[in-house]
Amino acid sequence: MLITFAFSIGTMYKLIDYMAKGLPLGVIGQFAVYTLPYSLSFTIPISALFSTLLLFGRLSSDSELAAMRGGGLSLWQISSPIILFSIFLSAICFYNSFTIYPQTTMAAEHLKKNALSMGVEDPIKLLEEGRFIREFPGYMIYVGKKNKNKVKDLVVYRVDKETDEITDTVRAESGILSLDRENMLLNIDLFNVRIELADAENPGKSHYINARKHPIQVDLNDLTKPSSIRKKRKYLSFKELIYVIRNPEADIGWMRKYDMKIEHGRDLIEFHQRICLAIAPLMFVLVAIPLGITSHRKESSIGMLMSLAIMFVYYIFIILSDTFDKSPQFYPWLLPWVPIVLGQIYGLVMIRRAN
């Protein structure tokens, strides 16, 4: 619970941001639940590592291990319940990584995309001070200061919906916002305006127009309609990932930006990373048992320090596999297996030696 809470701090900031935009509490609660399986795919292995280190460190420092071994139990017998439970945790992580996590992540994306159609009553709340707002179709808006429906230091970029390129820029000292609910239009009356228009005949050049007042209407009808979401790689289940790996040219709903070899390599990276995250509890427990015994400390500080070191070594290989995702000739999908295999070998050898 502690580690999951720490992992969810970033999500809490998002939830507070959504509350400020006027989303109902029911939708915010749904979003919080949908993001939980993603955190659990990381926090379950870390928790298994940390708790095993603390457990065997405490048993060792209190001479409980010596007492059990003096009673005729081997280290394998003492460790077997923990190892069996780590296998059970790995099974849970496998199901979460390939079934629950893809579904809830896609559901969270649906919630985020369709937030306005699910209860945002005042789109003006979407405009926040000091950041670019991209939610409005065809526009990118920056607000320097905002007081209810009055704004200052406003910058409005008109964006081509097809090419996603900026066509012209409007800067204003101040503005007044009003909402036409009947026609779903956001009216922005700008004052002391400077407009920069791109020259179609001479690319790279612009025309400038100054005006005391300039009105802008933003159509919100497209914004409030539920939008469809393309199925990305991270939304795929176990069977779907197997299918796209076996059929690299299959159309599964996302745009392939690179050639088939790179995309096929990325499919393999996603598949192997999820399997390695699922096996991680077993590997972490095997490593933590001998480390906990040799630490001879009952304080949690040494256990936390060792946990962080092991986690860093493990997750650096996950990051490396993503770094080399455009270089399939290096087999980056095999990198996540390096700490898994070495960790299990190390754990088994050290347990045998300690026994």
Rg of the chain over Cα atoms, rounded to whole angstroms, equals 27
Model confidence at 95: pLDDT above 80: yes
Provide the percentage of residues in the chain whose pLDDT is more than 70: 83
Of the candidates 50, 51, 13, 47, the one whose C-alpha atom is nearest the C-alpha of residue 32 is 13
**Domain locations along the chain:** 2-114+232-354, 123-224
pLDDT digits (tens, 9 = 90+) for 278-288: 999 999 999 99
Half-sphere exposure of 123 (CA within 13 A, CB side): 26
Return d(Cα 90, Cα 86) in angstroms, integer. 6
Model confidence at 119: pLDDT above 50: no
Model confidence at 255: pLDDT above 50: no
pLDDT digits (tens, 9 = 90+) for 152-203: 888 888 887 666 677 788 899 998 888 877 777 888 888 999 888 876 666 6
Of the candidates 331, 338, 292, the one whose C-alpha atom is nearest the C-alpha of residue 314 is 338
